[in-house]
Amino acid sequence: MTFAAILIDKTATGVSARLTEVDDAALPDGDVTVQISHSTLNYKDGLAITGKAPIARRFPLIPGIDFAGIVTASRHPRFSAGDAVLLNGFGVGEGHWGGLAERARVNGDWLIALPDGMSAARAMALGTAGYTAMLCVIALERQGVVPDRGPIIVTGAGGGVGGVAIQILHRLGYRVTASTGRPGESDYLRGLGADEIIDRALLSAPGKPLSKARWAGAVDSVGSHTLANVCAAMQDDGVVTACGLAQGMDFPGSVAPFILRGVTLVGINSVYRPLADREQAWSRLAREIDFATLDLMTTTIGLAEAIPAATALIEGKIRGRLVVALGACAPEHSP
């Protein structure tokens, strides 16, 4: 038997990606096989498909760091054929064949049950981006950042993490400042729950060690100067969660915010998390997300459209979330 998949391979000039048929016998080792109904296109997937960063650690590789579907075969004690499951992280789509395919075989320890009341399509509309956003919000709560402490800034607001973070924070009663480089997206971001919109240019250039105290907390998916400037503008005992590096891996900042204002910087690693943390985050997502709002920020495409969409994603031309529907769930045409 064969299944449709995106396969990336190394070439003399970089990385090539193609839609092809793959034999079941080529699936990697694992104790659970899943018929995938939905995946998603994350920034990391875009980097892998375009070869813009060395995300792929083996070749050939099926990219896709997320998927949801139905178990077809299992030797794992937690899962049986017919179970609805989802997966985020654990090197899937990087070193282990991933979710941009109709089938996957993985270690059952990497899977969790699809939360009650959440469809596979909506789980992938959230995907790693939504899961990471929820981990950030949980981290803010654990550090004592409650709504009456002050506003929260969300950087990279037009992306997946930012968009979901805005929704969650708004629903929980926080005032949200959204930082974006797309001024035309203001109405969209306000529709998600943002109370204030600022231009990312205010944060993306080199700044002062300390600036005017504005925010009680932050969800940052950008890194580099943006993260440094966000830290510099925290209120006393403010908390910054850092989960991305769209601007860069560097941190050209100062210790001043941490010493003089008691700011806490919390790193968020969404790839390798204990089962309890993953289940808590997804259970919270099932309760906290307004699915009607999520639907408004979601576009569904077929597997054949994922390769050109990856380029558009890296170029900053995609708003919100891209769900990739597979097999019988695949759309007949793009929206």
Residue 332 pLDDT: 62
Query: pLDDT digit string (tens) for 25-67?
Result: 999 999 999 999 999 998 889 999 998 888 888 999 999 999 9
Q: What is the mean pLDDT of residues 295-322?
A: 90
Query: pLDDT digit string (tens) for 256-272?
Result: 999 999 999 999 999 99
Residue 335 pLDDT: 40
Residue 329 pLDDT: 84
Residue 158 pLDDT: 86
Q: What is the 3-state secondary structure (H, E, C) of the chain?
A: CEEEEEEEEEECCEEEEEEEEEEHHHCCCCCEEEEEEEEECCHHHHHHHHCCCCCCCCCCECCCCEEEEEEEEECCCCCCCCCEEEEECCCECCCECCCCECEEEECHHHEEECCCCCCHHHHHHHHHHHHHHHHHHHHHHHCCCCHHHCCEEECCCCCHHHHHHHHHHHHCCCCEEEEECCHHHHHHHHHHCCCEEEECHHHHCCCCCCCCCCEEEEEECCEHHHHHHHHHCEEEEEEEEECCCCCECCCCCCCHHHHHCCCEEEECCCCCCCHHHHHHHHHHHHHHCCHHHHHHCEEEEEHHHHHHHHHHHHCCCCCCEEEEECHHHCCCCCC
Q: Show the domains of the chain with their CATH numbers.
A: 2-114+297-329 (3.90.180.10), 128-267 (3.40.50.720)
In this prediction, residue 334 has a pLDDT band, given cuts at 50, 70 and 90, of very low
Query: pLDDT digit string (tens) for 166-225?
Result: 999 999 999 999 999 887 889 999 999 999 999 999 999 999 999 999 999 999 999 999
Query: pLDDT digit string (tens) for 80-104?
Result: 999 999 999 999 999 999 999 999 9
Query: pLDDT digit string (tens) for 273-286?
Result: 999 999 999 999 99
